[in-house]
Amino acid sequence: MPAVQGAPIVPEQDEVVVRERARAIPEAAVARLAVYLRVLSGMVDQGVTTISSEELSAAAGVNSAKLRKDLSYVGSYGTRGVGYDVEVLVSHIERILGLTRKHSVAVVGIGNLGHALANYGGFQSRGFPVAALFDVDEDLTGVPVGGIPVNHIDDITAVCVEREVSIGVIATPPQAAQAVCDRLVSAGVQCILNFAPVVLQVPDDVEVRKVDLAVEMQILSFHVARRADEASAEQAANDLINGVGVDRVVIRP
């Protein structure tokens, strides 16, 4: 039996188990790698050629142990006693994140947000060209937004296949989102970024990420409230014990 990689896993009958090529990288680490990449790109522009884990972690807003652990998932490309070569690191992170391929983006729903996304330079510049725009509104069909003419949503499959769209962005009203998602999926799009405040149902082989602005606001709101509660609890407790031989009250989290 050909042992493709020395895998000490017990194979079931008539199966060979191959350990996944790329070491599994924790989801949380992937998100941070993208941030490191951005910071490193800035370093390249500033002419920095070498950087230590301490410096890079500070610039990325994490601690250095976490940074080194994250980079260790990518591989060992640092020099002990010195640090990392910025360009080497950039190219390895890009490889891990799959940025050597081009990823064309389609934006569906050309309202306020869709307009903003179509015009947003950050996609283009970071390797995610917006290749197609869609809307139900027939008055918009053919109208150029950010240099790209809007297509009618009924043409979504043909256009996505032709322009090799690999990422779909949903910027429609919530009622339309699931239907749009279904159409994107049947057009072969396997990655979706969803701005509509709904939970999308998709097959297992489709990856969805969501950005819900109201949820972000509510999380911030929670923290305001918590801080206010703590402050008032501390205040109340201090009032309560006033002159009872205790100097101060501390709130432990």
Partner DNA sequence: CTCTGTGAATGCATTCACAGCA
Partner DNA sequence: TGCTGTGAATGCATTCACAGAG
Map the footprint of a copy of itself across residues 221-250, applying CB under 8 A.
Answer: 221-230, 233-234, 237, 240-241, 244-250
Binding residue (CB under 8 A) for a copy of itself from 51, 56, 60, 160: 60
34 binds DNA (CB under 7 A): no
Binding residue (CB under 7 A) for DNA from 41, 64, 141, 157: 64
Q: CB-wise, 79 or 235, nearer to DNA?
A: 79
How far CA 231 is from CA of 24, 115, 214, in Å, comes to 43, 42, 26
23 binds a copy of itself (CB under 8 A): no
Map the footprint of a copy of itself across residues 174-203, applying CB under 8 A.
Answer: 190-193, 197, 199, 201
Map the footprint of a copy of itself across residues 82-111, applying CB under 8 A.
Answer: 96-99, 101, 103, 105
- Identify the CA nearest to 61 among candidates 97, 31, 24, 98: 31
How far CA 72 is from CA of 25, 37, 83, 92, in Å, comes to 10, 15, 13, 11
To the question of whether residue 110 is assigned a binding role by annotation, the answer is: yes
53 binds DNA (CB under 7 A): yes
Furthest C-alpha separation in the chain = 82
To the question of whether residue 63 is assigned a binding role by annotation, the answer is: no
The dihedrals phi and psi of 210, each to the nearest 5 degrees, come to -125, 150
**Axis-axis angle for helices 64-74, 86-96 (nearest 10):** 60
